[in-house]
A and B are shown apart, each in its own frame.
Chain A
Amino acid sequence: MKLFVPRDAAALAVGADEVAAALAATLPEATIVRTGSRGMFELEPLVEVAGADGLRRGFARISAEDVPGLVPALRAEAPHPKAVGIVDEIPFLRRQTRLTFARCGLVDPLSSSDYAAHGGWRGLARARALGPAGVVDAVSRSGLRGRGGAGFPAGIKWNTVREAVSDRKYVVCNADEGDSGTFADRMLMEGDPFLLIEGMAIAALAVGASSGFVYVRSEYPHAIRTLRAAIEEARGAGMLEGFDLQVRVGAGAYVCGEETALLESLEGKRGQVRAKPPLPALQGLFGRPTLVNNVLTLAAVPFILAEGPQAYADFGMGRSRGTMPIQLAGDIRNGGLFETAFGVTLGELVDDIGGGTLSGRPVRAVQVGGPLGAYFPRALFDTPFDYEAFTEAGGLIGHGGVVVFNDTVDMAAMARFAMAFCAAESCGKCTPCRLGAVRGAEVLDRIIAGDRVTANLALLEDLCETMQLGSLCALGGFTPYPVRSAVRHFPGDFDRGLEAAAE
């Protein structure tokens, strides 16, 4: 019997290790493969069994105590109340277009041969045949844009680094996934690390780098372990010839998700943002040309090389090509990873795919793009998931996190939280962010207390404009997104009539 139990942190957090141990004790003859997660976190721990027909059938939310009673069902001899049927046919999975996450949850994340058997390493082989210029051309033609948040065309960045002349170049993967509501980088590093490694090897070949770093946040110990083991495995399999790839661990600074702060941190300094120019593509790590891309950007590349850029560009809308691994989080029934072509609307994601709130209360607000993303009211649920459409609606898609709040949320408190978070995480380099965030929280305290609300809202708006236009990076520059959108769409939470009552 072949069983699959996830080792993803979200499965471990709800007892997957205990379930795997109980299965091993109860069924000593069974082979238990520890996979990544399918990304349906409400179903974890999700135990799967391979059937004689080659299909995998699942049993959801299994605890160690469930295991003895589960055995007849695993042998297909009896039904079970926690059975969810053929996992690939669960609507949440069936409706996805999984290009980047095609293998996640299916394969043993530390088996290079399993990876190869599921189509892995073909992109790297193709890249070696195409050569640097051909690889950059393919990435350009795919329309791939930076998945970390900025959405900058990957091909242009790759070409800039490729053409830069230097004795030494670097490829750096930004895996400092600090945005609340996002977990795609973590899932991928834990569930299919070879994909990221292959993407980085392709990038190194394309830009002429001999050295690479993956900067992973310290809050992800499981991802760090899996990735380090996978790099050793890939090296042993001969996939990293001439490319020295290593993992560096962050130290709990959100701002190090900003690429120049990340480079400072890699150099062993305080994670303070650098002024641009010079671009990291020309003067990055240790002053050398450096390609910095997010996990999901690099992990999209093997498909583009293996299947051709057009196969990727065929998905999506407008200038947002390909797929986006969207992360549904917060108070949502079907939380998890939903990879789909750009163009799906926010309403479809939240109400239809997400199934509304887990609590059963009405949805009031949705924050898209992490702590620096705007809050959307239901009135904007027809906004399609697309870089330009979200910009037009006063927001951003960022790293693709969607956090759902029910009707008990206090939007003034959320606006204050955005400022307080910025104050706590500011690197301190530029004044609008360092001081503005502190003053912003204070102004919001006065507004919440009902102190001269109209005047203080005007002051807050003025402060937001200063932060947005005057900050060096997205931390100070984008904190106004959640604040302004909360004020604009939920004004009643800020002016509760206290002012009038006091007069």
Chain B
Amino acid sequence: MDSPSGAAAHAEVVARVLAAHAGAPGALQPILQDVQAELGFVPPEALQAIADGLNLSRAEVHGVVTFYHDFRLAPEERPVLRLCRAEACQARGVEALAPLASADPRIKLETVYCLGLCASGPAAMVGERVFGRLDAAALRRLIDETAA
């Protein structure tokens, strides 16, 4: 669990992000994105503060956080590798590669539906870096790099 000082640091980040978006219409999504960019997740205890800052109910904020695939309410312990498993990457053989990544306990494999690299697949993303033309050897190298 978070230490009290962690919670205080979270509150400080949330307050700063809220102030940066003060008065902007429809700012909930950018606020959540900024908080997650700094902390790696949206702390559940931050939902009330965000709701208060935007004059929303906590339920409304919770509803938005849980609607979108990008937001997480808990920190991700392992490095995340996002593998595209949409149709174009399927046609280029991603399904044969996916077990390699899912079997590796050092990383968290997430499925993404399309990275816009549909003639360069199978494709993956780690952070903001993109990787194409993956075969088994290239994916193993990428998993090792990601885990390191």
Contact = CB atoms under 8 A, between A and B. Distances in A.
Contacts of B69: 251-253
Interface of B: 25-30, 32-33, 54, 60, 63-64, 67-71, 86-92, 112-120, 123, 125, 128-133
Given A268-B64, A330-B88, 9 more contacts: A10-B132, A42-B119, A183-B118, A219-B115, A266-B26, A332-B119, A335-B120, A401-B88, A405-B91
Contacts of B64: 268-270
A9 B88 contact: no
A417 interface: yes
Contacts of A358: 92
Given A251-B68, A253-B68, A271-B68, A10 B88 contact: no
Interface stretch (A120-128, A129-137, A172-180, A456-464): A172-180
B17 to A, nearest CB: 14
A265 interface: yes
A330 B26 contact: no
Interface of A: 9-10, 12-14, 41-42, 44, 177-183, 185-186, 218-222, 248-254, 265-272, 286, 327-332, 335-336, 358, 367, 371, 401, 403-406, 409, 414, 417, 421, 424-425, 427
A420 B100 CA distance: 22
Contacts of B67: 253, 270-272, 427
Contacts, number: 151
Contacts of A269: 28, 60, 64
A401 B118 CA distance: 9
A327 B91 contact: no
Given A269-B64, A270-B63, A421-B113, A180 B133 contact: no
Nearest to A221: B128
Contacts of A406: 91
A250 B129 CA distance: 18
Contacts of B120: 10, 13-14, 41, 44, 335
Nearest to B133: A14
Contacts of B27: 268
A-B CB proximity, top 5 nearest: A335-B119, A268-B28, A180-B86, A330-B91, A13-B132
A329 B88 contact: yes
A178 B68 CA distance: 14
Contacts of A330: 87-88, 91-92, 118-119
Given A13-B123, A248-B29, A268-B26, A220 B91 contact: no
A220 B87 contact: no
B33 A249 contact: yes
A14 to B, nearest CB: 5
A328 B64 CA distance: 35
A404 B91 contact: yes
Contacts of A421: 86, 113
B40 to A, nearest CB: 15
Contacts of B32: 251
B87, B115, B125, most chain A CB atoms within 10 A? B87
A402 to B, nearest CB: 10
A13 B27 CA distance: 32
A286 B25 contact: yes
Nearest to A333: B119
Contacts of B114: 178-182, 219
B123 to A, nearest CB: 6
A269 B130 CA distance: 29
Nearest to B69: A252
Given A44-B120, A251-B29, A335-B118, A403 B71 contact: no
